[in-house]
Amino acid sequence: MLGTALIAAFLAGGWFLVTAWPLQLIAAIRQKDSPAHGIIIGLLHIWRFISDHPLAIGGLTGLFIGDFATGIKVGALIQLVFFGVFIVGAAVPPRPMVATIMAVIFASKLGVEHGAVLGMAVPIAVFSLMLFLSNISIMSFFYERFARQAAKTGNLKKLELWHAILQPINITLINAIPAFLGVYFGVPLVGKVLNAIPAWLSGGFGTMQGILPVAGFALLVYTMNPGPMILLFAAGYAIGTVTQLTPMATALVVIALVFFYMKTRGGQNSLEPAMVAAGEGVSKIPLSFGDRISLAWRNFTWYYNASFEVLGGWGFAYQLVPFLRRYKTDEERAEAMTRNIAFWNTNVYAGGVIPGMVAAMEAQRAENNEAIDGNAIQALKVATMGPVAGIGDSLYHATLVPIILAIGTNMVLDGNSFGWFFSVFGLIALFAASVYYLVGLGYNLGVDALNRMRGVVDTVAEGAKYVGLILVGTMVANLVKVNLGITYTTGEQVINLQEILDSIMPGLPALGLFFLAYWLLRKGVKPIWLIIGLMVIAILGTHFGVLLS
């Protein structure tokens, strides 16, 4: 069991200690990094973000322990619960990565029903969140001790080196240690607990597999803020109940229809004017390929050393280090560093456009101190982080990422393991292309970037929202299973409530449960309480015969 526990620790963050971390330390010590260096670090950091999704980390865990089938199946089941769970603003949700690793190992080594380990994933994810929040509190001390002190003296090397040194606390220690201890001591313990579970509770776990995805889908739709467009979700549900299209085929049909609607709406292509405008304007100081790569990979490190008072402020300054080096005096660097370690919080992927703009402004100010006012740079950050967060959260977290994961998850649950590869490599391409493009766009367009690209982003976000609502509807139809066991006998006739409802519309109980969950979220019920409530409904409903597993 020691070997398996070490694998769990490695997957939960230990890999960072032997890959990205040494490369970042080298860059900090040498005060430069090559494009090849940066590309490797960037891809490793992208995996760090992707591994937060249960489908991705579940499949990789299965590969490492020699049970890929169990890994992707358990990962897909947990992914259904956590579809709509992501960071919005300063709100941090339960973190399912360690929970998924442990669930896959428990399911594979103990041979238990997947529903049983699914029930364990939720409390472990909440525990991971508690550790993460504790780390943010502790990091406030290091921020004051190293980042702020380095900024006061204009010591860029100290700011960069300590930011790199401390990253394993967030990435490795708070994840790898609990994963190791949970697997090493937990497998024997969990085996004894599961063997003692009565049959009625085991049946409840089976029912739970079909019901718990309601929480993830309801939260996902809630974050989309669909308004009257909730009808698109209902249309997607109807499509899912009457067609046999594969997830990929459904996605392609829906995307084609939405694109046709967006293309012909108002008699013109609404993308064209914005795209022409976005081709104008060039920064005075060219952006080299190496600097663009550096901006891109550092973009993923904003929140590794997050603290409550500035959130990603230290990481933002860390990203700009190659450009702040252009200042000629310690006083100028101190001013720029102090300006850039201030409060920072926005969407990681869409937010890449802002450091691109700031880098261009800092480069111009370093060249000519009178060219741009330092207060204007800070004002730009403050004015743009909120709008970009709103655009990015809706475009990435609530639409593009769930669509990619939904297609892959559905394929996996249908028995097609290619779904895991589709989702993992699809997310890699999405994150890498987005950040690389946006940091360059921000730099080249300077302070006008956000206004110039808003038309394109808003149009794409709107279309993605339509696609997402329809696809989520089809996913609920295919993956949420609510089978009623309620019957009524009159004479020799047995009336089955499930059959009556199916004659009206197949899957009607699942649709009703979804809208109940959606309504509760709109009334302010916390997602964690919704998940717990659904678990209780599944277990008690099965026990009393109201639900069938």
Checking if the pLDDT of 290 tops 80, the result is yes
| CA gap 445, 267 in Å, rounded | 29
Residues 6+ apart with CB under 8 A from 12: 97, 98, 101, 172, 175, 176, 178, 179, 180
- Mean pLDDT (whole number) for 253-263: 77
Whose structure tokens read 């279309």? 463
- Per the CB < 8 A criterion, the answer to whether 321 and 295 are in contact is no
- What local confidence, expressed as pLDDT, does residue 272 receive? 42
| CA gap 517, 219 in Å, rounded | 8
What pairing do the DSSP bridges indicate for beta strands 547-548 and 493-496? unpaired
Task: Classify each residue of 347-360 as buried b or exposed e, where b means 16 or more C-beta atoms within 10 Å of its C-beta.
Answer: bbbbbbbbbbbbbb
Q: Which long-range contacts (CB under 8 A, 24 or more apart) does 260-267 make?
A: 261/466, 262/459, 262/462, 262/463
- What local confidence, expressed as pLDDT, does residue 196 receive? 66
- Mean pLDDT (whole number) for 57-79: 94
- What local confidence, expressed as pLDDT, does residue 456 receive? 56
Checking if the pLDDT of 238 tops 90, the result is no
Residue 204 DSSP label:
H
* Residue with the larger pLDDT of the pair 130 and 299: 299
Checking if the pLDDT of 447 tops 60, the result is no
Question: How many Cβ atoms from other residues are within 10 Å of residue 67's Cβ?
Answer: 18
Of 325, 328, 324, 353, give the one whose Cα is nearest residue 340: 324
- What local confidence, expressed as pLDDT, does residue 279 receive? 37
Q: Where are the alpha helices (DSSP H) in 196-229?
A: 199-211, 213-224
Most confident of 62-66, 136-140, 518-522: 62-66
Supply the mean pLDDT for the chain.
Answer: 82
- What local confidence, expressed as pLDDT, does residue 191 receive? 58
What pairing do the DSSP bridges indicate for beta strands 483-484 and 547-548? antiparallel
- What local confidence, expressed as pLDDT, does residue 189 receive? 64
In one letter, which amino acid is 194? L
- What local confidence, expressed as pLDDT, does residue 274 receive? 37
Whose structure tokens read 């009334």? 523
- Mean pLDDT (whole number) for 300-313: 86
Checking if the pLDDT of 74 tops 90, the result is yes
What would the pLDDT profile of 160-202 be if each residue is shown by its tens digit? Answer: 999 999 999 888 888 898 888 888 887 666 556 556 667 667 6
- What local confidence, expressed as pLDDT, does residue 62 receive? 96
Helix (H, G, I), strand (E, B) or coil at 91: strand
* Residue with the larger pLDDT of the pair 320 and 373: 320
- What local confidence, expressed as pLDDT, does residue 267 receive? 44
Q: Can you point out the beta strands (E) in 166-319? A: none
Residue 398 DSSP label:
I
- Mean pLDDT (whole number) for 502-518: 87
Most confident of 114-123, 277-286, 314-323: 314-323
| CA gap 87, 222 in Å, rounded | 14
Whole-prediction pTM: 0.79
Residue 38 sits at the vertex; the CA angle it makes with 329 and 437, to the nearest 5 degrees, is 95
| CA gap 390, 80 in Å, rounded | 24
- Mean pLDDT (whole number) for 103-116: 80
Checking if the pLDDT of 343 tops 80, the result is yes
- How many alpha carbons lie under 13 Å from residue 405 in its C-beta half-sphere? 32
- Per the CB < 8 A criterion, the answer to whether 91 and 396 are in contact is no
- What local confidence, expressed as pLDDT, does residue 408 receive? 92
Residues 6+ apart with CB under 8 A from 104: 58, 61, 62, 65, 67, 70, 71, 74, 75, 117
Checking if the pLDDT of 278 tops 70, the result is no
Q: Which of 52-56, 213-217, 315-319 has the lowest mean pLDDT?
A: 213-217
Q: Which of 94-103, 187-196, 403-412 has the lowest mean pLDDT?
A: 187-196
- Mean pLDDT (whole number) for 511-523: 91
Checking if the pLDDT of 423 tops 60, the result is yes
In one letter, which amino acid is 192? K
- What local confidence, expressed as pLDDT, does residue 150 receive? 93
Quote the tokens at residue 342.
């201030």
Checking if the pLDDT of 157 tops 50, the result is yes
In one letter, which amino acid is 82? F
Residue 488: pLDDT band (50, 70, 90) is confident
